[in-house]
Amino acid sequence: MEMEPVIGLEIHAQLNTRTKLFCSCPTEFGAEPNTNVCEVCTGQPGALPRMNALAVELAAKAGLALGARVNGRSLFSRKNYFYPDLPNGFQTSQLDPPVCEGGGLGIAADDGSAKRVRLNRIHMEDDAGKCVHDERRGITLVDLNRAGTPLIEIVTEPDISSSREAVEFLRKLHGLLVRLGVTRGRMEEGEFRCDVNVSLRPRGSSRLGVRGEIKNLNSFRFVGQAIDYEIRRQSGVYAAGGQVLQETLHFDSAKGETRSLRSKEEAHDYRYFPQPDLPPVQVSPELLERLRAELPESPEEAAARLLGLGLKDGQARLLLERRGALEYFDRAHAAGASPQRLAALMEELFLPFCQREGAGPLDSPFAPGLMASLAGLAGDGTLGRRKIQELSERLFREGLDPARVVREQGLAQISDEGELYELARQVVEAHPGESAKYRQGQEKILSFLVGKMMKLSAGRAEPRRAGELLKEAIARGGEG
Ligand code: ADP
Ligand code: MG
Ligand code: ZN
């Protein structure tokens, strides 16, 4: 029987706050063990938590950007379990209702079609501390600096079908949350990590199979490897006629294998109950409105806007993919440049130049205002395509004002027809043999004559118009 993978993700992102979720201890990374602690985050009897308002804002902001419903009122619960680095004996988390419900994020499916990975919920919770095993002394130490650090957990529906889709989803989500400032997203410091749920089912079935849950992956590469390993492992179990067990697994990145931590039978009973020390979390309509106004344009919205300005598909995609390109475009556009001409200049010359230099468009000395001026000179025919190509490298590198360069170097394309015709006549007169050949039907020779005319005009003739005037001059036998 052919089986298909079904994957759901639970992502923990550390909220970008200076202080912890329920106290004012700093969230900084790498401090001396147990220095960023107080009676609240070490779970002293009688210490009372106080809600970090910025954490709520960031969680709501993530929800808005992901198209989720943000609840005006949500609750914290105690999720009870024992662990040495969990000083309260419970994690303060949200069960029902969480701060956000629903929403989703679009990715490309494996068959290339567009697909939306739905979200089940986003809830807030505090992080645990850290156990440090000292092998040499044979003891375990506890560092509570991280205890109480604010997290959101984003839970997807099981809508993902492969490791590639999972990694694309995670990269997109990570990029979005970092851009929003919801998290700093430094994965090596544990600020963005993910649990992966994988099961197999007969292709086409709508029932879910039994899943393995791989805990705490902190790199995109490990996520991909762990999923592929788990799919192979479960396929092997089914192929041998066995049953996959519901298990919590650990991914050993050195071996590239998953290993069982505990089975369903050993699963925790968390005895969730409402945390009596905290009032309900409120998100007012006014706050939501402010957050919505602060939200940057989504990639989908930006793409639609660019296409509306008359850009080609590929150009819109390019501007969205290159870091800083869209912002550069918007600024140059705001300075009055024609969007299409601007997009063409950026696509053909400016972005390739930036890439060669390994610099972002916004760091270039050729500021958006100068690009607008260049687009203007292209638009009114002052500078021809070829001239722009010739000048571009210098303009971009030195941040020169193109209008000034044109003025100082007399580079403007010749627009006076009389002057142009005179140049054509001189070329025909100087090359009687070639002109005769053209007259006899050797049309290809015209490009030779156009070349001569470009040279004579120091590149200031427009090649297509030059060709037309040359034909005219040849027809008139080089007469004036
Ligand atoms: P738990 O809290 O025990 O981990 P949830 O029901 O909250 O369980 O599900 C957690 C994640 O696992 C979600 O992302 C969900 O989509 C995913 N998931 C649930 N069942 C399956 C399954 N059979 N196969 C793959 N993913 C699953
Ligand atoms: Mg889980
Ligand atoms: Zn504290």
* Paired strand residues for 480: none
Alpha-carbon distance 332 to 368, whole Å? 4
Q: Which ligand is nearest to the CA of 19?
A: 3
266 C-alpha vs ligand 2 centroid, how far in Å? Answer: 14
| Mean of per-residue pLDDT scores for the chain | 92
Please, where are the H alpha helices in 101-202?
A: 163-180
Alpha-carbon distance 153 to 474, whole Å? 77
Residues with Cβ within 8 Å of residue 4, at least 6 apart in sequence: 161, 200, 201, 202, 203, 204
For residue 324, pLDDT beyond 60: yes
Atom of ligand 1 nearest to the CA of 6: 25
Pairing of strands 3-14, 192-202: antiparallel
Query: What is the distance of C-alpha 328 from the center of its chain?
Result: 17
Q: Which ligand is nearest to the CA of 39?
A: 3
40 C-alpha vs ligand 2 centroid, how far in Å? Answer: 26
By most ligand atoms within 8 Å of CB, the mutation choice from 77, 81, 197 for ligand 1 is 197
What is the phi/psi pair of residue 236, to 5°? -60, -40
Q: What is the dihedral of CA 228, 230, 232, 237, to 10 degrees?
A: -170
Q: Are 77 and 94 in contact (CB under 8 A)?
A: yes
Q: Are 141 and 131 in contact (CB under 8 A)?
A: yes
Name the pLDDT band for 22 (thresholds 50, 70, 90). very high
pLDDT in tens, 134-187: 999 999 999 999 999 999 999 999 999 999 999 999 999 998 999 899 999 999
Q: Mean pLDDT over residues 243-270, rounded?
A: 89
Alpha-carbon distance 296 to 24, whole Å? 29
114 C-alpha vs ligand 1 centroid, how far in Å? Answer: 23
Q: Which residues surround ligand 3, an ion (CB under 5 A)?
A: 23, 25, 38, 40-41
- Position 342 scores a pLDDT of 96
pLDDT in tens, 78-124: 999 999 999 999 999 999 999 999 999 999 899 989 899 999 999 99
- Position 264 scores a pLDDT of 75
In angstroms, the Cα distances linking 480 to 218, 421, 433, 457 are: 78, 8, 18, 18
- Closest Cα to atom 24 of ligand 1: 199
Name the pLDDT band for 479 (thresholds 50, 70, 90). low
Sign of the CA dihedral with 364 first, then 369, 373, and 376 last: positive
For residue 398, pLDDT beyond 90: yes
Ligand 1 contacts (CB < 6 A) are 6-10, 155-158, 197-199, 208-209, 211, 213
Sign of the CA dihedral with 393 first, then 394, 396, and 402 last: negative
For residue 70, pLDDT beyond 80: yes
- Position 322 scores a pLDDT of 83
Percent of the chain with pLDDT strictly greater than 70: 99
Name the pLDDT band for 32 (thresholds 50, 70, 90). very high
417-475: CATH class: mainly alpha
Question: Which residue type is seen at 145?
Answer: N
Alpha-carbon distance 141 to 374, whole Å? 64
Q: Are 449 and 427 in contact (CB under 8 A)?
A: yes
Q: Mean pLDDT over residues 254-261, rounded?
A: 92
Atom of ligand 1 nearest to the CA of 9: 14
For residue 480, pLDDT beyond 70: no
pLDDT in tens, 286-317: 999 999 999 988 888 899 999 999 999 999 98
Name the pLDDT band for 365 (thresholds 50, 70, 90). very high
Percent of the chain with pLDDT strictly greater than 90: 72
Q: Mean pLDDT over residues 376-385, rounded?
A: 84
275 C-alpha vs ligand 1 centroid, how far in Å? Answer: 24
Name the pLDDT band for 68 (thresholds 50, 70, 90). very high
Please, where are the H alpha helices in 295-367?
A: 299-308, 313-321, 325-334, 339-345, 351-357
For residue 55, pLDDT beyond 70: yes
Alpha-carbon distance 191 to 53, whole Å? 19
User: Domain segments of the chain: what residues?
Assistant: 3-285, 297-409, 417-475
For residue 63, give both structure tokens. Answer: 């929800």
- Position 449 scores a pLDDT of 87
Cis peptide before 97 (omega within 30 of 0): yes
Name the pLDDT band for 208 (thresholds 50, 70, 90). very high
Alpha-carbon distance 228 to 334, whole Å? 47
325 C-alpha vs ligand 2 centroid, how far in Å? Answer: 39
Please report where in the chains the tokens 């290339």 appear, as a residue.
112
Q: Mean pLDDT over residues 380-396, rounded?
A: 87
pLDDT in tens, 403-458: 888 888 776 677 778 888 888 888 888 898 888 888 888 888 888 888 888 887 77
- Closest Cα to atom 13 of ligand 1: 8
Instruction: Map residue 312 onto helix, strand or coil.
Output: coil
For residue 478, pLDDT beyond 70: no
195 C-alpha vs ligand 2 centroid, how far in Å? Answer: 7
22 C-alpha vs ligand 3 centroid, how far in Å? Answer: 7
pLDDT in tens, 209-243: 999 999 999 999 999 999 999 999 999 999 999 99
- Residue 444 has a CB neighbour count (10 Å cut-off) of 8
* Paired strand residues for 130: 143
Residues with Cβ within 8 Å of residue 168, at least 6 apart in sequence: 107, 108
pTM for this prediction = 0.75
* Paired strand residues for 12: 153, 193
- Position 460 scores a pLDDT of 77
